[in-house]
Chain A
């Protein structure tokens, strides 16, 4: 492959990656992939990518201008000519590398972006209690009002407290997607969310049991309201909502919980 072409393709690919990241950041969809606290990191990263790409393109342009006057023809070397120029000497074009790096771009642009849902919850399992791992999982401050707690808050409460009686009867108001967990008996489903500490690779699904006679389709987002009780699942006490009211809602723009 012509070294100059290789350099151009490299630079364009890097610039395209940077622009893709920028688009995700601006549209907010970036947070379907990573935790919000890394916004600065991604911004710095994409600026760095643009810098690297820009430098290479500039070098190519400068080289072209100088060579136009100096050479009548190019030698058939497999490296780019350089004089005082600061593009790479001795680098061999590696076309396969272009394909590898194009992969994230291709996947990112062609596969419709979709936050994680019940498919992955089925594969990874849903955590109902016990150790809640992942990132900085220090116990959050107790969210005072019961109906402002989300699924993670409830699970943490149940996890941290030896005595659950103060919480029984409190009224819960949570959102999540419907997940029919095989561990639950008939008439129960989980209202689930994904908790993302760093990026979706470490995402784990958490859920509260809901008692509701009507069968709801998996992945349907709902707002569940009702008093909280305890349900034993696999020998573990799990928060249960005796649903008094369930509203079907649209999937929120940001479906994940960032602990």
Chain B
């Protein structure tokens, strides 16, 4: 039976991004006294061209990568058979976790695409350690992110550390989950037997076995790309707006003290990573904008923690997994990236 049926009840949607933006705006306005707010609005008007320039700069740089990511995701969805995949992978937990972590190199998906994909794979019998490691590592260990990180930071220490740390966290977390043998206890029960259509994974195609033509499949991939570009693009735009706003309206001096403290900077950047919720395919460019202000360890932590845990991915985890696994999925990356950021600040102070 083809997977094209819609679930009868509309799938639970994640909290709309526009609410987040609204809440943010309300907080900003409410915490500033009136004269400041008016002054701010005045300033805002004067600074709008600079804001627009920086915002557009991030967007223009990032949009091609975002598009390539969605195209890759579409191709993966259309051309890869999930059964073959599950059969090819090792069952032993440690190897499985490692394999899962490296799988992203062949599956270029953004963090948005990886959650529904992982769920689908887990239901098809993919071992848990592999699936979880894939979930956490794929957003970073894939060709597109490697390229975009290299474009921003060059083929050097930052890239190497980003990849190594992400793999480490993914494998560690995968092993922790290997202690739970049955995926049933991890996944949330869902209403419909067929893969439900979530707002972020719009297209569910007929299985390749029913053999539509290659052209039809390619065109289906383009269709997926279109929807995913919009789904993920809004997070890029929200993040770019926030980053541009920070650059234009917050004097850098105010951030420098926080930015250079070895622990505080890492904490703040982790917080920024969660807030910005940018797609991993393009977060390197936004990170670059923070380089002058924040320590190297903080930047690395942003690049490692962000793709694993941010507002949109936690919301998605919540749709797929039960609460306790979600907690692990958040805590383990947080602690390890924090530790790593600290260590980097002490061991490699001149990294960025």
Residues of chain A touching chain B, judged by Cβ–Cβ distance below 8 Å, are: 10-11, 14, 17, 21, 24, 30, 32-34, 38, 41-42, 44-46, 48-49, 51-53, 55-56, 59, 77-79, 82, 84, 86-92, 94, 96-98, 100-101, 103-104, 107-108, 111-117, 119-120, 123-125, 127, 131, 133-136, 197-204
Contact = CB atoms under 8 A, between A and B. Distances in A.
Nearest to B225: A52
B53 A200 contact: yes
B226 interface: yes
A221 to B, nearest CB: 17
B323 interface: no
B33 interface: no
Contact of A111 (B48, B197, B247): B48
A44 B233 CA distance: 17
Interface in B130-152: 151-152
A198 B285 contact: yes
Contact of A104 (B224, B237, B248): B237
Given A96-B18, A123-B251, A201-B289, 5 more contacts: A86-B212, A100-B233, A104-B59, A108-B52, A135-B288
A18 to B, nearest CB: 10
Interface string B221-238: 011111101110110011
Contacts of B47: 119
B285 A202 contact: yes
B64 A44 contact: yes
A240 B212 CA distance: 70
B63 A45 contact: yes
A55 B234 contact: no
B185 interface: no
B17 to A, nearest CB: 7
Contact of A107 (B10, B55, B65): B55
B192 to A, nearest CB: 12
Chain B interface, >50% SS class: helix
Given A104-B237, A119-B47, A201-B286, A86 B223 contact: yes
A203 to B, nearest CB: 8
A127 B10 CA distance: 54
Contacts of A135: 152-154, 288
Contacts of B52: 107-108, 111, 113
B17 A124 contact: no
Interface in B336-352: 350, 352
B291 interface: yes
Contact of A56 (B58, B223, B291): B223
Contact of A201 (B64, B223, B285): B285
Given A79-B6, A90-B204, A114-B53, A199 B61 contact: yes
A64 B4 CA distance: 20
Interface string B314-352: 000000000000000000000000000000000000101
Given A56-B222, A97-B234, A108 B248 contact: no
A87 B223 contact: yes
Contacts of A98: 230
A124 B152 contact: no
Interface of B: 4-6, 10, 16-18, 46-50, 52-61, 63-65, 67-68, 71, 151-154, 197, 199, 202-205, 212, 216-217, 219-220, 222-227, 229-231, 233-234, 237-238, 240-241, 243-244, 247-253, 285-286, 288-289, 291-292, 350, 352
Query: Which 5 A-B pairs give the minimum distances between C-beta atoms?
Result: A45-B64, A201-B289, A200-B57, A100-B234, A91-B202
Contacts of A92: 10, 197, 199, 202
A127 B256 CA distance: 14
Given A34-B61, A103-B237, A198-B61, A108 B203 contact: no
A101 B228 CA distance: 12
Contacts of B61: 33-34, 38, 198-199, 201
Nearest to A127: B292
A94 B225 CA distance: 15
Contact of A199 (B58, B219, B229, B291): B58
A159 to B, nearest CB: 14
A204 B292 contact: yes
B234 A101 contact: yes
A94 B244 contact: no
A40 B58 CA distance: 16
Contacts of A46: 64
A41 B64 contact: yes
A33 B53 contact: yes
A77 B71 CA distance: 27
Contacts of B56: 33, 104, 107-108
A239 to B, nearest CB: 20
A119 B252 CA distance: 13
15 contacts: A17-B63, A42-B60, A45-B67, A45-B68, A86-B219, A88-B203, A88-B223, A88-B224, A100-B233, A101-B229, A103-B241, A124-B247, A199-B57, A200-B54, A201-B286
